[in-house]
Amino acid sequence: MQSSSAERTKGQQNRVRVVFPIKVRSTDTAGNYVEEIAHTLDITASGARLAAVRHELKLSSEVTVVYRQRKMTFLVVWVRLISRHEYQVGLRTIRDEHQAWGMNSTDGKVHVPC
């Protein structure tokens, strides 16, 4: 049985596959400050999925993502090892970031900026 769009979780709604170059600032599992270049794989109104992250980020830690002079704050909700030194990271917003990715706050959809 397939779920209707009303039954889908926030993370599944309005997912836009887009690669944005970003800077990631956070804490790794050893407690060290990390700043590195990565990129998004997809974004939603409530989060993002990152790739090319070279450090294992600590779950539930705050992450600052810098994109086009904009600073956004997220929470690390999952980390997946992709290869020996590369991780994908799932992020969830913890502050109102509606304009950060170009989201129109009136319709709740993500509109990718040019």
Whether the full predicted model's pTM is greater than 0.85, yes or no, is no
pLDDT tens figures, 44-63: 888 999 999 999 999 999 99
- What pLDDT was estimated at residue 23? 98
pLDDT tens figures, 8-27: 444 455 889 999 999 999 99
Domain boundaries, the chain: 8-106
Instruction: Please tell me the distance from the alpha carbon of residue 53 to that of residue 17, in angstroms, as a whole number.
Output: 17
Q: What architecture does CATH give domain 8-106? A: Beta Barrel (2.40)
State the average pLDDT for the chain: 82
